[in-house]
Amino acid sequence: MKEKLIDLFEYTFHFNKEIIKVIAENLGKVDEKTISLINHTLNAQQIWNSRILGEQTFEVWQINPFETLEEINQRNFEKSIEIINNFDPDQKINYQNSRGADFENTVFEMLFQAINHSTYHRGQINSLLKQNGIDPILTDYIFYKR
């Protein structure tokens, strides 16, 4: 299972990087919602990693300096791989959501949420790019594997 999770995070890292690149190449054309969503996508992965690791989390909708997004993506990837290599996927983690409510999920569930969440928002970002006259990129997993 670890190999499959690593593959999914490599996919996530790759297409987050590609989306950041397209946005950077078209900063004059993208809207605030696009910037908000790419930040939210990266923030969410950081938050899930930090919940597992017991570290300080980002805010869900914080806007990071654009020039730091590639670094955040890289750090998120490295932390996710660290978790995969050092945690039992069935280990349960207690955490609080952004509203302070208590929850418990397994490491696998939390990691899969980070992957699935980023896929969802990259789709939204691609729609916004297209609406702003920017060619979206194909981010389906199968295209990554071909």
CA–CA separation, 75 and 17 (whole Å): 12
H or E element at residue 79: helix 69-86
CA separation for the pair 18, 21 (Å, rounded): 5
14 is in an annotated binding site: no
To the question of whether residue 121 is assigned a binding role by annotation, the answer is: yes
Q: What is the dihedral of CA 109, 2, 59, 123, to 10 degrees?
A: -80
Binding region: 40, 117, 121
Binding region for a divalent metal cation: 40, 117, 121
